[in-house]
Amino acid sequence: MNKLISVFSCFALLLFFSGTKPHFSAPAKAPNILLIMADDMGFADIGCYGSEVATPNLDRLAAKGIRFRQFYNNARCCPTRASLLTGVYPHQAGIGHMSNDPEDSTSFNYNLPGYQGSLNNKCVTIAEVLKTKGYQTLMSGKWHVGYHGEQRWPMQRGFDKYYGLLAGATNYFNPSGGRGLMLMNEKVKPQGENFYLTDAITDYAVKFLDENKKESKAPFFMYLAYTSPHWPLNALEADVKKYRGQYKKGWKALRQARYEKMKALGVIDKNAGLSDADGADWDELSAAKQDEMDHRMALYAAQIDRMDQNIGRVIKQLETSGELDNTLIFFLSDNGACAEGGLLGGGLPENLGTKLGYLLSYGQSWANVSNTPFKKFKHWVHEGGISTPLIVHWPKAIPQGRLGKFTDQYGFLPDIMATIVDVSKAQYPSTYKGNEIVPLQGKSLLPLIYGKETPVHTAPVFWEHEGNAAVRQGNLKLVSEYHTGQPVQWELYDISKDRSELNNLAATMPQKVAELSAAYQNWARYVGVIPYSEVIKIREGKRKAPKTGI
């Protein structure tokens, strides 16, 4: 008898340590899902990841959820959104570079399967998948994965309700023309003298959620895609006042302060390196220029602050309706901080703090702060270009001992689709509306959410944008920066010891460079990557598009 008890005890212990059965019960009711995306926000730009910007609502989600130290996007707006929504690599979804523009139906449309500039018919969106499980699918915010042709719009790709802009950016106070607003499938004008885009996106998100509660009672999927803090630097005066004058010590001092706070919070290891400063010399600027740069950063901070205030409104609505505990919430950014506009930013200084301007940006020197402690920016696939905060909040499922903790396991965008398929018990299709669908490329993060701290990815994951390329497998990352007319120069880093990519191991580990670069080439052929030098020639009309693709 004692021997029998011992056998059963061993078996029970084996089950426990193998993780084959979680030590809690997942929610019986199908969970709601809220996917929140910020736009052009750096890794260190919110409070719970090291920023001085006030983000109490995101900090609250982090304190009652889990945070990822290592989660990756695709370095640019369109490729990220394509991959996030579909669970496949951006080239497989048809947006290997960018989406076409409102002003030009042919821009970023190269007649290539992987570069058509809009979501293709070989992928499905999260909304299309969740509708098969009875979810009401709602979206408010920036689309940017297909503009010309109604068949490319949100409601034609699975969403029941939509409000926002189809394009990539607009003036926050006066969205107009091709960069204007849509409600369902109709163009609409901004309402009221005090219109502000971040507020309006939230107004409709709350409205849609309220309608769902009253009319549908179905579980919902809400994709809340803010344009904040993407340029133009348009912010409300009351929010700007909180930050005006705080940035006159300059970017070097602020970057050091964030670096120290990130170590204290546990966002980065206490021994993590800080990459070299990549900005102008603050002390060489005139007093007037320093004041202008303080103003630019204050506007940027105010945009993030306002976004957080609006996320708080959505959380309050979920609390009021009794849905917060059973809502799985993700928050992330679409790429690293944006260095567009040069070292000191773009746009006319006299437009700062007004309702005018479109190309107003805060510049590379401040973006280097936003990406603390990493190097490079949006467009590149070094850590500064592809690293995003990821907060996951789900009170009914995350074990109590995990709340407020970090995970060191890494993931990337297709994992969001895989996780949503997993928690909703939906079936990811092999065919949809008569089209063969690319297999799901992500892995479910559910084991991490449930507290099982084991690697999600054992096979390599890949990136390519504008010729910038990377592979990550385990702790090793192979990465290269594109330079016109120059051969690829691979760099190799051990991310577990060198997240800031300061110690290039390529010369000492040539076999690993050869192995990972060969894996990259095989992947590139599989998903339909075209060498960026050829993409440029095709775009300029100097070469016909080759027949290639999935």
The one catalytic residue in 77, 78, 123, 338 is 77
Q: How many residues does the chain have?
A: 550
User: What is d(CA 168, CA 77) in angstroms, rounded to the nearest whole number?
Assistant: 8
93 beta partners: none
Residue 547, by phi and psi: left (phi above 0), alpha (psi -120 to 50) or beta? beta
Terminal CA-CA length for the chain: 61
Distances (CA, A) of 452 to 10, 21, 407, 446, 526: 20, 10, 10, 9, 32
Dihedral of CA atoms 504, 510, 511, 514 in degrees, nearest 10, equals: 90
312 and 17 in contact (C-beta within 8 Å)? no
The reply to whether 148 belongs to the active site is no
The one catalytic residue in 91, 97, 144, 382 is 144
User: Which amino acid, one-letter code, is at 201?
Assistant: I
By C-alpha distance, which of 468, 462, 438, 479 is closest to 535?
468
For 277-382, where are the alpha helices, taking DSSP H only?
A: 287-320, 364-370
User: What is d(CA 31, CA 14) in angstroms, rounded to the nearest whole number?
Assistant: 30
User: What is d(CA 546, CA 537) in angstroms, rounded to the nearest whole number?
Assistant: 12
519 beta partners: none
Backbone phi, psi, residue 118, to 5°: -155, 160
Count of alpha carbons within 13 angstroms of residue 129, beta-carbon side: 26
The reply to whether 144 belongs to the active site is yes
User: What is d(CA 522, CA 8) in angstroms, rounded to the nearest whole number?
Assistant: 47
Distances (CA, A) of 335 to 41, 179, 202, 377: 7, 21, 22, 8
Q: Write out the two tokens for 405.
A: 């903790």
Mind giving me the DSSP string for 94-139? T-SS-PPBTTBTTTT--S-GGGSSS--TT---HHHHHHTTT-EEEE
Residues with a catalytic annotation lie at 77, 144
